[in-house]
Structure 1
């Protein structure tokens, strides 16, 4: 693997004006993030501020329902309600050590924006969050939280007004004030070294989960996580990539169906291309134009995917499937009624795959699902859901 690539995927396709900032970031990451001082400070924050370790919960009722041992990695119980705080707090701490004064971030479901605004408030940094106007409307609660924390929210009204446009605008804003600003990317996407940095800071999920299973005397037969950009998925997968026994499954958003234009199933339907400074799988037409995407989930409606996921798919180490809006909502309601847990609609995509997986398993298996976030932010979407409704 070349330094900036995962096989054929990755790289840094950015304007020359941004290259020095990426080189500066790579140097800072390698010289600061692995020092005893940084690791000690971050570990303390993750424990006492975020609330790690997140529980590995055996869902007894769900296990009885499916006939297998179902465990939930409860990232929804982290401060701010998702896995996003792991990376946002870590990068914000790195930014402060670098002497940066301002944080820029993009967000779709609002969880990364909320986590970044939270970290910025804690560390005394200015913060500006870019969010598509469509996402801002359906994630209004998170918008209000972000503002309450002292951050500015910049709503984007171009294109589909969702995550792709927010990311594009955030990158442009960062380049315009690159010397004083630090761009915290929320997923394993973007130009090198961002995918590597985000994967490193999110690996805490998988490392914890592996140890928690070992304490129970268990080995995971399957680990399932939803995939948009793919940070929660790569976070938990990293604990099991070397375990040949464990099958890894990533779940994308099929929206209204992958046989329609209304989906965000990049690894299922995409082709090699360039988006947001990286070479990866991209949903595009025959001319290379980025296609519009759709999902009930604001966090999964992205036309690209992290290059590490494109690589793992090519290696056949991880299998990727797509779940529809309707299947997602059914699984979300099932978890609510069986376990008293309201998951984020992103996480519900992973939960929905249990129905298909367990139907075909011949022996009792240990299955871990990463519940990457909680559903407080999604109540308006859940309660207003109608089959066939277009959100993007």
Structure 2
């Protein structure tokens, strides 16, 4: 492609670390846009990116989180199209990005089919559960099961401090059709079309919309959406850590928190996408629980 520079946006920092790693291996300049608030709450991943040679640019506008980092990355990309390639971090943005990211992430459901065949004797679970901000990890989990109506899909978004609190990212409840970052989708917005600032304790779910694929899955009733509060997610993260010996990212903890509100049969096969590790969120866990 002849590009000499790679840019990306990141909320939780995982996509930023992955992009910085690729650039280090290829010897390409790397610039990561990240909300100023997210830089503080995801400090371990920021340190990783810097160690890998990436330059971190803080987004200081708006809510200073993922939406604003994406704004800055797109602005950079538009201004430097000849030298710069944008590796977008979710199933959002202008076409063909949502489709490209979903196809790349589809390795998740591809591997699930293989692993379930070995462990359960079937390729199809009864339930798929994933957290959803923009929706990249969820798109990968669902991809090879979208046409299989027997597989129930549950997308878990961030309710923040409560859906009616004014501090939420519950797009399925609060969103309306709109345009954000070059795609038509479901979006939290005012009556005159201004974006409502989202909130979540988890940096990766702090987004005012969802990818267009997920808006379609909600509208067509192929997926059920649930909204989980900060408190439920944090408690679920602590419980999973104690029961499984794996500390989940707070984004992932939202998916596990959904179990509290779902009724399963004893023999149901349930697949939860463990989308991120919690070492990046240790300071948040420590502060929240006074550990």
- TM more than 0.5: yes
* Cα distance per residue 1:250-306 (max 9 Å; x no partner): 000000011211110112210000111111000001111100111010000000110
Gaps of 5+ in 1: 1-97, 388-392
2:104 counterpart of 1:162: no
Distance 1:362 1:237 in 2: 21
Which residue pairs with 1:177 in the alignment?
80
Which residue pairs with 1:198 in the alignment?
101
2:280 counterpart of 1:371: no
Distance 1:266 1:115 in 2: 27
Distance 1:262 1:277 in 2: 25
Per the TM alignment, residue 318 of structure 1 is displaced from its structure 2 partner at its CA by 0.9
| Structure 1 residues 143 and 363: CA distance shift in structure 2, 3 A | closer
After superposition, residues 47-196 of structure 1 pair within 5 angstroms as 98-196=1-99
* Cα distance per residue 1:316-367 (max 9 Å; x no partner): 111111111001011111111111010100011001111111xx33553111
Q: Check the 8 A contact 1:280/1:305 in 2, yes or no.
A: yes
- The CA RMSD over aligned residues, in Å, is 1.3
Per the TM alignment, residue 145 of structure 1 is displaced from its structure 2 partner at its CA by 1.0
* Cα distance per residue 1:31-59 (max 9 Å; x no partner): xxxxxxxxxxxxxxxxxxxxxxxxxxxxx
Q: Which structure has the higher relative contact order (CA within 8 Å, separation 6+)? A: 1
Distance 1:156 1:328 in 2: 26
Count of residues in correspondence between the two structures: 288
Distance 1:383 1:363 in 2: 34
* Cα distance per residue 1:180-202 (max 9 Å; x no partner): 10001000000000001100100
Distance 2:191 2:147 in 1: 37
Distance 1:228 1:172 in 2: 21
Tell me the TM-score normalised to structure 2 length: 0.96
Out of 248, 255, 267, the position equivalent to 2:172 is 267
Distance 1:279 1:349 in 2: 26
Distance 1:386 1:311 in 2: 38
Which residue pairs with 1:332 in the alignment?
237
Which residue pairs with 1:345 in the alignment?
250
Q: Which runs of 4+ in 1 moved over 6 A?
A: none
Out of 280, 299, 304, the position equivalent to 2:209 is 304
Which residue pairs with 1:12 in the alignment?
none
* Cα distance per residue 1:199-218 (max 9 Å; x no partner): 01000000110121112214
2:159 counterpart of 1:254: yes
Larger Rg: 1
Per the TM alignment, residue 158 of structure 1 is displaced from its structure 2 partner at its CA by 1.4
Per the TM alignment, residue 176 of structure 1 is displaced from its structure 2 partner at its CA by 1.0
* Cα distance per residue 1:16-45 (max 9 Å; x no partner): xxxxxxxxxxxxxxxxxxxxxxxxxxxxxx
Distance 1:235 1:106 in 2: 19
SS at match of 2:282: helix
Distance 1:386 1:363 in 2: 32
Q: Check the 8 A contact 1:284/1:291 in 2, yes or no.
A: yes
Distance 1:117 1:170 in 2: 15
2:216 counterpart of 1:319: no
Distance 2:279 2:155 in 1: 23
Tell me the TM-score normalised to structure 1 length: 0.72
Distance 2:225 2:278 in 1: 23
